[in-house]
Amino acid sequence: MEIVYVYTKKRSDFGRPCNFSERAAEVAVDIAPDPGAAAAFVARNPVDAHVQHTSDMSEHEVNTERVEVEPRGVHHTEGGWPKDINPHEMEQTIRFRKKVEKDENYINTITHLGTLMEHCIKQNNAINIYEDYFGEEEMAEADDEPPSAKTINLTSVFDVLLPKRDPNVTKRTATHLSWHPDGCKKLAVAYSSLEFQQNTKDMSFDSYIWDLENSNKPELVLKPSSPLVSLEYNPKDSHILAGGCYNGQIAYWDTRKGRLPVEVSTVEFGHRDPVYGTIWLQSKTGTECFSASTDGQVLWWDIRKLSEPTETLVLDVTRKGLLENALGAIALEFEPTMPTKFMVGTEQGIIITCNRKAKTPPEKISGTYSGHHGPVYALARNPFYPKFFLTVGDWTARIWSEESKESPIMWTKWQAREQAREWERGCSYHLSYLTDGCWSTVRPAVFFTTKMDGTLDIWDFLFKQNDPSLSLKICDEPLFSLRLQDNGCFVGCGSKLGTVTLLEISSGLCTLQRNEKTLATAMFERETKREKILEARHREMRLKERVRSALQLEEGKDEVPAESPAELLERVRGDFVEAIEAELRRRAQAEARR
């Protein structure tokens, strides 16, 4: 290690050593008492005095120089061949192998090694060294553990705004996160400034791939032609990434070929607005993806030819295919088990369900859900029950069923039944705006949401419906992106200032609980049935109102005034309670007969 500072003083200059010796006591000063000072004497009882006989000490700290580590690889080529054999010539290698295989020494060696190998294989088959003997006890302990999460990396590790990480001083938002498909060791982060006309000339366009085991600097810097709004790993080839740019272009990278994109789509055939969603399709070649943008288009691409899209869909809910009537896309959802269906969350708060294999473009838009007062920032199907999906927008997160399009079956914050005012308003809201959300990959009843106040909420509706099971204050700035690792134990949160925080979730929130699937199914079905009953009642009331209005027009008479909303709500609640009680009585009678 290099010597930074050399002390030049002699040891004797640092202070003389103390040498003690025995000697008789001596009187140094003898002060005689002053009788005149006795009048000023003030008696004090008790008297407490402290005397410290040690010298004052100072504390010093020394910090060693920071050591930056970077990975290096070694490429091994095929060797071991004789000098006269070219390993790239197939005929020469085959001829040499046949010659060696006929050698007596080779046969004896293989026979000897075969016996040793057989012994090792039998040992491996006799016992499983990775077997978990106490799984049930660990699960029991996990059930008793309260929900928690801990930061496993400092936020500054992923902060691209630090001078050592990014020379650009302009703050950028971590707009999208993507985990490496082969584990939780790498994380790709897209950085972009989404504020209107806030991009400066000196703002960097770079996005990064971080290696969590070496977080001093990014493993790879991606250099697009425009800031990336979305970035996604290819699940079939972990070296390939696709990204959607702020200027509407689509680009893809091969990490083996460096930091520049392999190919970029043309401006005239791409999107006109930022690309907020890019998702890979489950194809045989593993090269197909599709993208969505606020320009109201969904485009399908093959990265082998990005000059123009292979297919186009205009998100016009009037089914006329007019781009001026299209709704801008903010969120995009695709479930691999349903390869022909996908969903789009729009700026207008409408969720559009689409079918790619429909014959005509108008038929590709199969339905809509109206549920938010603002843009739908997150849209995700439940990985265990794909017909139920989660949407995040405005101040609520809502769970929908494909069987009920008029209203969600659950939402946050859920209301208590006794709060009549909350029921009358329809739903209650968080105090802070919600920005993103996703389902747990291992538990069907758990999902995550982020908010503008920098809070991460973890919901478990089997445990608690009115409030999140765990609420964590991640940072002081707004959180904008959220991504859960496939094993369900690690979650990454990206903030407005470009900081990415990595959290490890407690085992209770990332371990499938006993009978959880059965309970979640029962709750989903019960809430869906309740919404169907309310929708049927609502349709019946609207039909009666239309009939009543028609009669008024025909007879020219004033009908009995319609009941007030409070009376209507009270009557509907009474009908619902009566239906529940009738069902309970029917079940009790059936049980008694058994």
Is 71 a residue whose pLDDT tops 80? Answer: no
Q: How far apart are CA 203 and CA 280, in angstroms?
A: 29
pLDDT band at 311 (very low <50, low <70, confident <90, very high): very high
Mean pLDDT score of the chain, rounded to an integer?
Answer: 83
Does residue 335 have a pLDDT over 50? yes
Q: What angle do CA 336, 342, 346 make, to 5 degrees?
A: 140
Query: Coil, strand, or helix at residue 137?
Result: helix
**For a pLDDT cut of 90, what percent of the chain falls above it?**
37
Mean pLDDT highest for which of 60-69, 228-237, 499-508? 228-237
pLDDT of residue 159: 38
Query: Considering the chain, what percentage of its residues have pLDDT values greater than 70?
Result: 86
Mean pLDDT of 313-327: 89
Tell me the Ramachandran region of residue 319: left when phi exceeds 0, alpha when psi lies from -120 to 50, beta otherwise. left
Of 76-85, 165-174, 202-211, 389-398, the range with the highest mean pLDDT is: 389-398
pLDDT in tens, 339-367: 889 999 999 999 999 998 888 877 889 88
Of 39-43, 317-321, 447-451, the least confident: 39-43
pLDDT at residue 34, as a whole number? 83
Are 437 and 483 in contact by the 8 Å Cβ rule? The answer is no
Residue 521: which of 371, 427, 401 has the closest Cα?
A: 401
Residue 497 near residue 192, CB atoms below 8 Å: no
Q: Are 488 and 440 in contact (CB under 8 A)?
A: yes
Lowest mean pLDDT among 144-158, 315-329, 533-547: 144-158
Question: Residue 158 has what pLDDT?
Answer: 36
pLDDT band at 419 (very low <50, low <70, confident <90, very high): very low
pLDDT for res 379: 95
pLDDT confidence of residue 416: 33
- Under the banding of pLDDT at 50, 70 and 90, the label for residue 81 is confident
Does residue 239 carry a pLDDT above 80? yes
Specify the DSSP element, H or E, that contains 592: helix 565-593
DSSP labels, 54-85: SPP-------PPPPP------PPPP----TT-
Q: What is the pLDDT of residue 423?
A: 39
- Please, which pLDDT band fits residue 321 given cuts at 50, 70 and 90? confident
Q: Rounded CA gap, 440 and 183, in Å?
A: 16
Structure confidence at residue 157 (pLDDT):
35
Q: 567 or 274: whose pLDDT is higher? A: 274
Residues 351/388, Cβ–Cβ less than 8 Å: no
Nearest to 247 by CA among 218, 272, 279, 210: 272
Q: What is the pLDDT of residue 90?
A: 86
Average pLDDT over residues 432-442: 92
Q: Which two tokens stand for residue 498?
A: 């470009």
Q: How confident is the model at residue 466 (pLDDT cuts 50, 70, 90)?
A: confident
**Average pLDDT for 377-382:** 95
pLDDT of residue 175: 93
- The Cα 467–Cα 383 span in angstroms is 23
What local confidence, expressed as pLDDT, does residue 138 receive?
54
What is the reported pLDDT for 14?
Answer: 66
Residue 168 confidence (pLDDT): 59
Q: Per-residue pLDDT for 139 more than 70?
A: no
CATH 2.130.10.10 fits 149-413+430-533, yes or no: yes
Model confidence band, residue 21 (pLDDT cutoffs 50, 70, 90): confident
pLDDT at 292: 95
pLDDT score at 562? 65
Residue with the larger pLDDT of the pair 526 and 215? 526
Residue bearing the bigger pLDDT, 590 or 78: 590
Look at residue 65 and tell me whether its pLDDT is greater than 50: yes
Three state DSSP letters for 216-259: CCCCEEECCCCCEEEEEECCCCCCEEEEEECCCCEEEEEHHHCC
Per-residue confidence (pLDDT) for residue 152, from 0 to 100: 63
pLDDT digits (tens, 9 = 90+) for 141-191: 445 567 767 666 433 333 333 323 443 567 789 999 999 998 778 999 999
Q: For residues 412 and 379, what is the distance between their CA atoms, to the nearest angstrom?
A: 15
Q: Place 2 in a pLDDT band, splitting at 50, 70 and 90.
A: low
**What is residue 560's predicted lDDT score, i.e. its pLDDT?**
53
Q: Do residues 243 and 251 touch, judged by C-beta distance below 8 A?
A: yes
User: Which of 290-299, 410-419, 430-439, 529-538 holds the top average pLDDT?
Assistant: 290-299
| pLDDT tens sequence across 258-286 | 899 999 999 999 999 999 999 999 888 88
Average pLDDT over residues 297-319: 92
